[in-house]
Every structure is written in C-alpha cells, then in structure tokens.
Amino acid sequence: MQAKINFNAGPAALPPEVLHEAAKAVNKYKKTGLSILELPHRGPEFAEILAESKHLVKKLCGLDDNYEALWLQGGGRQQFCMIPMNFLPQDGAAGYIETGHWAEEAQQYAAFYGSAQVLASSKKTNYNRLPEWPAKIPAKLAYMHITTNNTIYGTQWGQVPEPKAPLIADMSSDIFSRKHDYSKYALFYAAAQKNLGIAGVALAVIRKDLLKRAARELPPMLSYSEQVKEGSILNTANVFGVYVSLLMLRWIESRGISAIEKENKQKAKLLYDTLDSSNVFVPYVTEKAHRSLMNVCFTAKTPEAEKKLLALCEENDITGIKGHRSVGGFRASIYNAVPLDWVERLVEIMKSVS
C-alpha cells in the first residue's frame, strides 16, 4: 500500500483497510459485474450505500430522526454559500466567529446575502489562539456560525457553550475525531477529504426544523430542502466518493470514537510535549486549551533548522509537513487515519535536529 508517512492537511491519509476495500470496489463492486466507478447513482446498490452511510453518520453522532444527513458536492466552500442562501434573509443578520482563513471565507460568502456580523475574532494575532466566546449574542440572529477546528493555524474549540441562536458548524477538519455533543447544532458540515474520505463529497447534517426557515427561493441544487427531498441524488451523485466515506464510517465505527479520541490525544500530546521542551522548534499555538488535536503547527527558530527538518523528512519518506503559507514553518496533520507510530517517527527526527 502507501509507501510514505503522510501528514497532509487534505486530501489526507486514509487507513490501509479503506484503501484496500476501495481498490477492490474499483475492480468489481460486489456481484454487479461493474466497477464502483460505473455504478448507477439511482440503482439499488447505491441506495444501500446511501442508507447505510446516513444511518452510520447519525449513529456515530448520537442523533435521532430529527436530523437529516446529506451527501453534497462542491466541498466546504459550497456549504459556505448554501448556508446563507438558505437561512440568511436579505434583511436579516447572522453571526460569525472568526477563527481563521476558512471562518473568514465563510463570513465573506455570507455577506453576499445579508448582514454577516463578526461576533468575535482572533485575526489580530494571526489566529494563533481562539477569541473569547462572545458574551452577548445579538437577538434574532438567523444563525451563528463557528469553525470547530482551524486547519491552517491548529486551534480547536473544546466545549462549545450552549447556543443562543441556531448553531452551525464547519467540522471539516475534526468531525468524528472525538466525543462531541452534536445535538447542539442546527447544522454541521464537513468536506470529506480529511477525516471522512476523499475530495468531491461533503457531508451536511441538518435539523429538520431549520429546513422550514427557507430565506429565499433557490434553484433546487442549492436548496437543502430539495436535496433532502431527493435523498442526495438530485443530480448524478459522486458514487465512489460516498462509498469511500461509507468505508471510513465503518472503520470509525469498528474502532469506536472513544478509542479514536484516546489515540488522537496521545499523538497530539507527544508532538506538543516535544515542541514545549524543544530548543529548536516553537509551537504556533501557545495557549494549551486552544490547541488542536488534528493539526499541530510549529516553526523552527532558525532557517538552518527549518531546512534540516525538511531534508530529513524527505530522506525518511515523510510528506505533507510544510506549514500553510499564511503561517509558515510546519504543520503535522494527524487526523484519525494517522497512526501513533508515524508521529513517533516524526518526533524522533525532530529531536535529531539541533
């Protein structure tokens, strides 16, 4: 299978078992005599894939039939658009918590449709921390939007306070990575290419009462209600992408969220402990309570140390470690599929840089 240790932020590492099953299905899907790549999106086999995947999403999130799970296209950014299109009336207001590039972009997309107020922001410190949760939430917000994990900077909300407005969350980079109270949210979504499969698929989970709040007439493709009505096959679905997400969901269920969370904490602790005691590397997020379990960002104190670590990573078949251009340095994305021994290998190499 894969030869490299992969710390990419997304598309990200996939578990070998998932890759193996996906490869088998590309060759031949069950007894259909077809590859999964040729499977009709309105046939019985894809209907089964959809039903099982939606069932597993709700089961893993501990949600009942008050919620609908949808597989959509257009990645995270299309959700940035669909949310205000569907729920932000032209004369209404929504609140956004600005915790990074993606949160900013979500707010900017919303501003096309109504008032998108920034309720709190950590932009001033280039998002190396989370802002204080806003003490006062304006009355009558159509919704409030947060990003639970900030992929580029490596911050993550722990416990999210009880919402005073319908709460919407971008969980693209931490869905299913820990025990979480998903029932707090009126809607949450995730582009699949990090913890949930491959690019080209986005999951949106929506509470049914929100569907009744349509802010404007929309073409069906962009309307959550129409997508729900058509059961995620309004247009030609990404059959393979949804199948890979189903394989991921089965893998998550077989390991259990508690075990996954425990290992995620171990991996993150190993990296942060190494950074906190290093004379060579510096963690980007110093506030420990704000640190992400999924993306660990750091810089080197000297250009020589930076070059040395990059060269050692290359020599040791470690890929995807370069930080995002807006932060620089390094980023280890340690999603669910990244095993502890990969992190141990990285730490060993980091310790050899002087």
Of 97, 169, 191, 247, the one binding ligand PLP (CB under 6 A) is 191
Strand partners, 206: 68, 187
Picking from 164, 159, 118, the residue whose alpha carbon sits closest to that of residue 137 is: 164
Asked if 122 interacts with ligand PLP (CB under 6 A), we say: no
Pairwise CA distance, residues 237 & 252, whole Å: 23
Asked if 75 interacts with ligand PLP (CB under 6 A), we say: yes
Handedness of CA 324, 193, 183, 219 (dihedral sign): positive
How many residues bind ligand PLP (CB under 6 A)? The answer is 11
CB 283 within 8 A of CB 297: yes
Minimum Å gap between C-beta 9 and ligand PLP is: 6
Picking from 258, 275, 263, the residue whose alpha carbon sits closest to that of residue 339 is: 263
Listed ranges 135-143, 165-173, 239-247, 251-259: which one lies at the site for ligand PLP (CB under 6 A): 165-173
Residue linked to tokens 């599929």: 337
Residue 334, judged by CB atoms within 10 A of its CB (0-12, 13-18, 19+), counts as buried
Annotated catalytic residue within 54, 71, 157, 170: 170
Minimum Å gap between C-beta 224 and ligand PLP is: 17
Listed ranges 75-83, 209-217, 228-236, 249-257: which one lies at the site for ligand PLP (CB under 6 A): 75-83
Minimum Å gap between C-beta 75 and ligand PLP is: 2
Pairwise CA distance, residues 6 & 338, whole Å: 8
Asked if 147 interacts with ligand PLP (CB under 6 A), we say: yes
Helix (H) or strand (E) holding 242: helix 239-255
Listed ranges 21-29, 69-77, 255-263, 330-338: which one lies at the site for ligand PLP (CB under 6 A): 69-77
Picking from 175, 183, 125, 124, the residue whose alpha carbon sits closest to that of residue 147 is: 175
Q: How far apart are the first and last CA of the chain?
A: 33
Listed ranges 72-80, 118-126, 210-218, 332-340: which one lies at the site for ligand PLP (CB under 6 A): 72-80
Q: Is 273 a catalytic residue?
A: no
Helices vs strands, H then E, count in the chain:
10, 14
Please give the residue whose beta carbon sits closest to ligand PLP in the complex. 75
Report the SS3 class of residue 248.
helix
Pairwise CA distance, residues 15 & 338, whole Å: 8
Nearer to ligand PLP, 86 or 147 (CB): 147
Annotated catalytic residue within 194, 251, 267, 342: 194
Nearer to ligand PLP, 14 or 349 (CB): 14
Pairwise CA distance, residues 82 & 260, whole Å: 31
Listed ranges 52-60, 70-78, 281-289, 300-308: which one lies at the site for ligand PLP (CB under 6 A): 70-78
By rule CB under 6 A, what string of x and - marks binding of each residue 91-110 to ligand PLP? -----------x--------
Minimum Å gap between C-beta 151 and ligand PLP is: 3
Asked if 172 interacts with ligand PLP (CB under 6 A), we say: yes
Residues in the chain: 354
Q: Is 212 a catalytic residue?
A: no
Binding site for ligand PLP (CB under 6 A): 10, 75-77, 102, 147, 151, 170, 172-173, 191
Which residues are marked as active site? 102, 170, 194
